[in-house]
Amino acid sequence: MFTLTNIRFYEGCKYMKNLHIETDYPIEHKLDKDFFAPNICISAIVGQNGAGKSSLLDMIFRVVNNLSYCLFSRIERDASAPLSYITGLYVDLTYEANGKTGMVRVRDGVLGFVFGILKCKFIVYKTEQAIEIGEELQEYVDYASVNFKQQKEIAKAFFYTIATNYSMQSFIAQDYSEEKTIYMANGNNGEILPASWPWLNSLFHKNDGYLSPIVLNPYRDNGWIDMSNEEHLTTSRLAALLIEEDPIHPLLDGYIFDNMYFHWRPRKLQEKFVSIKDQRKLYPNKEEVEEHKRSYTNEKDLWNYEEDKDLEDFRKLALEKYSFAHIILKALGCSVSRTMDHLQIYVRMYVVYKVLSVAEKYPSYTHFKKNFGDINYTFCTIPIENKKITVLQLRELAKTVKRDPSHIGLKLRQALNFIKKGKDLKGGELADKISYKQYAELLGIEPKGMTVKNRMEWLPPGIFRSEISLKNTKTGKPVPLNHLSSGERQFIYLTSTLLYHAMNLSTIPKNGTRVRYNRLNFILDEVEICFHPEYQRCFVKKMIDLFVRVGLNKSFDINILITTHSPFILSDIPVDNILCLNKGSVNKDALEQTFCSNVYDLLNNQFFMTQFVGDMAAEKLNDIVKELDLLSEKYENRAKPIDKNTILRLQKSINMIGDRFIKMKLLEKLEYLKRKDSLEVEYEMLKKQMQVVEEKIKKRR
């Protein structure tokens, strides 16, 4: 079983906010390893707003970021934000896996890593304090220059973190801009310099082939989330999962998979290309052309725009023996002909683009980058010098990407499968949207019974845009994904994001040339955002079922850490797996058994709530009680009856109260006052009569 077990801070640690020095923040796991599901462990952090939950998670991210820097700062990651090292941290992050204890120990400019007998340290920068700390880690082996074997050794011992937070106030890079960071300039031999960018930028989804052991979701551009892009990503991520959904355990309650449609997206690809000479777009879209015309009056400066001219340009180029396009396509067995339909040309342009983009983006293809790391070579011929060697290397690149079993090669294989099976398809046949069933029939494939991974191989390539339709189980009507409620869409966004990254990580070979992590750490911050209580109640079970269904727990040891304000989520997690915070301190006394607990008990004990109604309602309730008490005092010794309008007003207010017990007690008090008033009048009258009678008796005596 894999779990995070503790985080501890030491004197001198910065960025603590309301957390405390020399304090352990532990999660004690005492459950059977298969309590939730085989190879899956779930824990939680709870507390009021400001208790320190997000601060604690931020520290975990900082520690993982610094380890990432130590391991991979010397590797080219041009398609990703550069890694930087956060200074001023004094913290230990501890985890357990397979009976062994792992720990990342950050001491400002020195970082130590421990797992079992493996003990290594990285001296990022030297100070007097760093030398003293170095003595603390004296027995650790100095990994001054990490080689690939060492990287794989540590990655195998560590874990990959997939973190999510959909709150608009979270993961804003600018919020971390004042934190001091450093980076290594100019690669291996560069000097250490202050970084001018927030460290958080490098932790968002990046094209590094899952090298650095953490990714934050959703992607933010200084706090801004492109929801249109999120929806597009969600649709493509869910495609293979929903095509053959389990009807007994659907992804979304109340809905089953209805259909999936695909649209051919001409010209979307061309917009990526720019002129190598002047960095001007080769094929701008129509909107950009119109805007350019409005901005420039010089006819010579106008962009030339002709529909499908780019496809004909590519056809001509792909027929040339020494063009990048011709060599790549020939190596992959899908050359261009002079009479080929524009759809077939377009998908081949996409093939060339994908091969070159891999060389441009991914660190594991760095050795190809110098000669082929530019997508704009799609419209170029190779240089005259070293032509023979260049051709051989380009062929090798194309074949290597095709063979890559991970997500890096997936989109290329999808395009090649389309070319292989759909060689006779024409653009006119796919001009309108078609269903997945129609697509499968056109290609002559039978997706039923395929595994999720195999089904992904036969999805339409990236030149198509996908659209998912679900069916409402009550009405039987189809519902597009973008017509679902915000809570329903949020559930799908979250689960699809987790699955997407996890499935991609699972495709990396364990014994290949890339770093492969064996453990997944999911951190779900404020997971219940937009969720109805019913969704909160079902979330943990649905997530476990989904992970088991796609076999993630067979590929990885999984730890799930949730921060939540939901008693429904907490009721699925035993107390030993919960860290309870109160104003930055661990509140052990507040912890009582949570598993299968009453919601009100959870709110009172784990969420420190003393009131279970809104403040406005509580104030109105107190006003009613006070008025009843005053009425009771006012008419205690008087025979004057209570005003009927007052009685009616109080009765109306009390009848609005939803809590049956409170309502009953207040109504009893009101009725008592009413009865007491009438009886009081009668009592005074009888008392006077008794006095008269007593006077008469005295006189007779």
The answer to whether the Cα torsion of 483, 487, 489, 491 is positive or negative is negative
Q: Compute the chain's Rg from CA coordinates.
A: 34
Give φ, ψ of 432 to 5 degrees: -100, 165
pLDDT tens for residues 83-123? 899 999 999 999 999 889 999 999 998 999 999 899 999 98
Residue, of 625 and 680, whose pLDDT is higher: 625
Count Cβ atoms below 10 Å from residue 246 Cβ, excluding itself: 13
Alpha-carbon span 285 to 269, nearest angstrom = 10
The pLDDT, as a whole number, for residue 608 is 46
Q: Which two tokens stand for residue 373?
A: 């790391």
pLDDT tens for residues 436-454? 888 888 888 887 777 777 8
Residue whose pair of structure tokens reads 């529909």 in the numeric block: 307
The pLDDT, as a whole number, for residue 449 is 73
Cβ-based neighbours of 427, under 8 Å, separated by 6 or more = 264, 266, 341, 342, 343, 346
Nearest Cα to 492, choosing from 255, 313, 321? 255
The pLDDT, as a whole number, for residue 278 is 65
| Three-class secondary structure of residue 386 per DSSP | coil
Cβ-based neighbours of 604, under 8 Å, separated by 6 or more = 610
Q: What percent of the chain has pLDDT over 90?
A: 22
Residue whose pair of structure tokens reads 């551009």 in the numeric block: 221
| Three-class secondary structure of residue 103 per DSSP | strand
The pLDDT, as a whole number, for residue 36 is 87
The pLDDT, as a whole number, for residue 517 is 93
Among 360-364, 476-480, 485-489, the minimum mean pLDDT is found in: 485-489
Nearest Cα to 259, choosing from 414, 481, 484? 481
96 touches 152 (CB < 8 A): no
Q: What is the 3-state secondary structure (H, E, C) of 163-200?
A: EECCCCCCCCHHHHCCCCEEEECCHHHCCEEECCCCHH
Query: Would you say residue 162 has pLDDT above 50?
Result: yes
* Torsion angle of the four alpha carbons 482, 486, 489, 494, in this order, in degrees rounded to the nearest 10: 150
Query: Would you say residue 336 has pLDDT above 70?
Result: yes
Q: What percent of the chain has pLDDT over 70?
A: 83
SS3 content of the chain, % helix, strand, coil (to 5): 45, 15, 35
**Residues 435, 436, 441, CA angle at the centre, nearest 5°?**
100
Q: Indicate the angle between helix axes 436-443 and 407-421, nearest 10 degrees.
A: 60
Own/partner contacts of 585-594, CB < 8 Å, gap of 24 or more, are 585/20, 585/23, 586/23, 586/24, 586/25, 586/26, 587/47, 594/570
pLDDT tier, 304 (very low <50, low <70, confident <90, very high otherwise) = low
87 touches 102 (CB < 8 A): no
| Three-class secondary structure of residue 668 per DSSP | helix
One-letter identity of residue 568 = F
3, HSE (Cβ side, Cα atoms, 13 Å): 22
Can you give the pTM of this predicted structure? 0.79
Q: What is the edge-to-edge ordering of all strands in the sheet holding 557-563?
A: 214-217, 160-164, 519-525, 557-563, 40-46, 578-582, 585-586
Residue whose pair of structure tokens reads 């082929």 in the numeric block: 372
467 touches 480 (CB < 8 A): yes
The pLDDT, as a whole number, for residue 288 is 65
Cis peptide before 250, with omega less than 30 degrees from 0? no
Residue, of 668 and 517, whose pLDDT is higher: 517
Cβ-based neighbours of 405, under 8 Å, separated by 6 or more = 507, 508, 509, 512
| Mean local confidence (pLDDT), 600-608 | 50
29 touches 560 (CB < 8 A): no
Alpha-carbon span 417 to 444, nearest angstrom = 11
Nearest Cα to 580, choosing from 164, 55, 4, 51? 51
The pLDDT, as a whole number, for residue 57 is 93
The answer to whether the Cα torsion of 186, 192, 193, 196 is positive or negative is positive
Cβ-based neighbours of 386, under 8 Å, separated by 6 or more = none
One-letter identity of residue 540 = V
pLDDT tier, 685 (very low <50, low <70, confident <90, very high otherwise) = low
DSSP state of 356: H
The pLDDT, as a whole number, for residue 300 is 47
Mean pLDDT of the chain, nearest integer: 81
202 touches 71 (CB < 8 A): no
Residue whose pair of structure tokens reads 């607990």 in the numeric block: 597
| Mean local confidence (pLDDT), 202-212 | 82
110 touches 134 (CB < 8 A): yes
| Mean local confidence (pLDDT), 562-580 | 82
Among 326-330, 362-366, 686-690, the minimum mean pLDDT is found in: 686-690
For the ranges 27-31, 270-274, 366-370, 621-625, the maximum mean pLDDT occurs at 366-370
| Mean local confidence (pLDDT), 226-232 | 73
Residue, of 47 and 347, whose pLDDT is higher: 347
The pLDDT, as a whole number, for residue 572 is 82
| Mean local confidence (pLDDT), 295-302 | 52
pLDDT tier, 188 (very low <50, low <70, confident <90, very high otherwise) = low
Strands (E), 384-533: 434-435, 464-472, 478-480, 519-525
| Mean local confidence (pLDDT), 380-391 | 82
Query: Would you say residue 8 has pLDDT above 90?
Result: yes
